[in-house]
Chain A
Amino acid sequence: MLDLLKIPVYSIQEFTLLTGRAYRNLFLRPHYWDDVVIQMDIIGFGSLPIVVLTGFFSGAVMALQMSRALSQYGASGQVGQIVAIAIVRELGPVLTSLVVAGRNASGIASELGSMKVTEQIDAMRALGTDPTKKLVTPRLIATAVVLPLLTAIADFVGMVGGWIVAVPMLHLTTGSQYWSSSWRSLEYNDLAQGLGKPFVFGMVIALVGCFYGLQTTGGTQGVGRATTQAVVVASVWIFVLTFFITRIFVNM
């Protein structure tokens, strides 16, 4: 029984230590700002097409699903409000983060995992660089900064998607009513949770990706395993955390 618990407890301990070091590095020199910018480009700009596509269709499908229900109650005019709230509070942050987790938690884990199994991490330490400073902290900063930005873009594109379905396609409402109802329905609370969530998820994605990458053992097969675990664990954490963060905001 104790042996069964040993591995998860050890993993939690190592993850906590890595997280602690990654945050401590924010205040310690040297800072690798070049790497932060490179990672922002890879994670942020690189994820843009898929985030735009996901955002657009989630907004469009939301409007489509709501169209019938709303017209039953003669409330078709409210479609903008429903799309805005659903997208900004939940769908935008969670779907964008899931897409970035699939794309970047795996990317980070496989990159660091390959470096680990080819002794590049050891070489880095031998050559005077702390891998948590050079590899982990830049990814942590980059993901935490770009994910809220990506979410904001996804939210906007999602509302446009909803508008295309609601106005030109199904004529549920007028353009001005769609935009004004969606604008009026949003409160600061919605924006705070809509951008706070991806900030937290971004950190989770980077840390989980780095953790599984740096824990990799067992050659190329190990890299594959680390990649899969990183995506699965990061995705599950996104779902768990969105519940708790929403719970906090609902109570506020």
Chain B
Amino acid sequence: MADHGPESVLRFERVVVTFDENPVLRDISFNMRRGETRIILGAAGSGKTVLLKTALGLIRPDSGRVWVFEEDSSDFSEHQWMKLRRRMGMLFQESALFDSLTIEENVAYPLLNQGAPPPPGEVRSRVEEILTFVELEHTLEKFPSELSGGMRRRVGIARAIVTDPPLILYDSPTAGLDPITANTIMELVAKERDTKSATTAIVTHRFQDGELMAKFSYNPGSGKLEPVLRNGTDPVNTVFMVLKEGELVFEGTQAELEQSRDPYVSKFVKH
């Protein structure tokens, strides 16, 4: 590709995914660059989750190509994907914590199973550190069923980011949560993005999640999210995408999204 700018982290090229002959993703193409935040909006069943799972290689496309970290994954074996996934973190929709493992074991899982495991003492301190990051340091010995939905989501985030992956995918991080908890979760997502400069893709049906990511950034000095100054040196690079029944119907900035006249797209902005 002859374009410039930061390297591509995730690129879809005319990707089609079908389930039982029903197309779930239709001809999806986009290019996500390093340092970018991408908000993927869409109604339930529009293919958002399938898109993330395709990016992770959990679902193989029927046609088209998926490039991850500038590697064409089309002919990758599961073993090759395993290596690639070490550089990707994923928060699943319902957190998908291993319910027979404790919180500590859940968070330590990627450390112990991705490549050569670090020494046991290091694992413990890393798990404690990351659970402190999501403010759940007191839950080490608990099981997922003993935590509330919001806390489970935070553990899910901790597990996704414990290895500091350069690309993090969040599947509906705020779905089914009350507005206060949802806000806490989004603050964590922004904090991770801004402290580690992680490239972030967020699937959501809430426009305000995207708005928060686009307009706020984490200030490590104050320990809070602060509005981003729109003075041309905007450090936050946020792109919005809207999916409708498996088709990509919009891709652009927040301002472009707000100005869209498409009745389906504009529904996400009105809130």
Contacts of B110 in A (CB 8 A): 127-128
Q: Does B231 contact A (CB under 8 A)?
A: no
Q: Are A127 and B159 in contact (CB under 8 A)?
A: yes
How far, in angstroms, from A127 to B90 measured CA to CA in the complex? 8
| CB neighbors of A among B63-104 (8 A) | 78, 82, 85-86, 88, 90, 92-94, 96-99
Also in contact, A127 and B94, with CB within 8 A (given A118-B99, A122-B53, A122-B58): no
Q: Are A127 and B58 in contact (CB under 8 A)?
A: no
Chain B, Cβ-Cβ closest to A123: B96
Q: Are A123 and B85 in contact (CB under 8 A)?
A: no
Q: Are B92 and A128 in contact (CB under 8 A)?
A: no
Q: Does B109 contact A (CB under 8 A)?
A: yes
How far, in angstroms, from A127 to B85 measured CA to CA in the complex? 7
The 0/1 profile, CB within 8 Å of B marked 1, for residues 127-146 of chain A is: 11110000000000000000
Contacts of A127 in B (CB 8 A): 85, 109-110, 113-114, 159
Contacts of A129 in B (CB 8 A): 109, 113
Q: How many A-B residue pairs have CB under 8 A?
A: 50
Chain A residue total in the interface (Cβ 8 A): 13
Chain B, Cβ-Cβ closest to A124: B98
The 0/1 profile, CB within 8 Å of A marked 1, for residues 151-165 of chain B is: 000000001000000
Contacts of B113 in A (CB 8 A): 127-129
Q: Does B56 contact A (CB under 8 A)?
A: yes
Q: Are B90 and A126 in contact (CB under 8 A)?
A: yes
The 0/1 profile, CB within 8 Å of B marked 1, for residues 90-126 of chain A is: 0000000000000000000000000100111011111
Also in contact, A119 and B82, with CB within 8 A (given A125-B58, A128-B114): no
How far, in angstroms, from A127 to B94 measured CA to CA in the complex? 16
Contacts of B93 in A (CB 8 A): 119
Contacts of B99 in A (CB 8 A): 118, 120
Q: Are A123 and B53 in contact (CB under 8 A)?
A: no
**Shortest distance between the CB of B114 and any CB in chain A (Å):** 4
Q: Are A123 and B114 in contact (CB under 8 A)?
A: no
Contacts of A123 in B (CB 8 A): 90, 92, 96-98
Contacts of B115 in A (CB 8 A): 128
**Interface hub of A115, A122, A123 (most chain B Cβ within 10 A):** A123
How far, in angstroms, from A176 to B199 measured CA to CA in the complex? 79
Chain A, Cβ-Cβ closest to B90: A126
Contacts of B78 in A (CB 8 A): 125, 130
Contacts of B86 in A (CB 8 A): 128
| CB neighbors of A among B19-36 (8 A) | none
Contacts of B85 in A (CB 8 A): 125-128
**Shortest distance between the CB of A109 and any CB in chain B (Å):** 16
Q: Are B109 and A119 in contact (CB under 8 A)?
A: no
How far, in angstroms, from A101 to B184 measured CA to CA in the complex? 47
**Shortest distance between the CB of B10 and any CB in chain A (Å):** 15
Chain B, Cβ-Cβ closest to A125: B58
Also in contact, A119 and B114, with CB within 8 A (given A128-B86, A130-B82): no
Contacts of A126 in B (CB 8 A): 56, 58, 85, 88, 90, 92
Q: Which 3 A-B pairs have the closest CB atoms?
A: A128-B114, A119-B96, A123-B96
Q: Which A residues lie at the B interface, using CB under 8 A?
A: 115, 118-120, 122-130
User: Can you give 9 A-B contacts (C-beta < 8 A)?
Assistant: A125-B78, A125-B82, A126-B56, A126-B58, A127-B85, A127-B109, A128-B85, A128-B114, A130-B78
Besides the contacts A123-B92, A127-B109, what 12 more A-B pairs have beta carbons closer than 8 Å? Answer: A115-B98, A118-B96, A119-B94, A120-B99, A123-B90, A126-B58, A127-B113, A127-B159, A128-B82, A128-B85, A128-B114, A129-B113
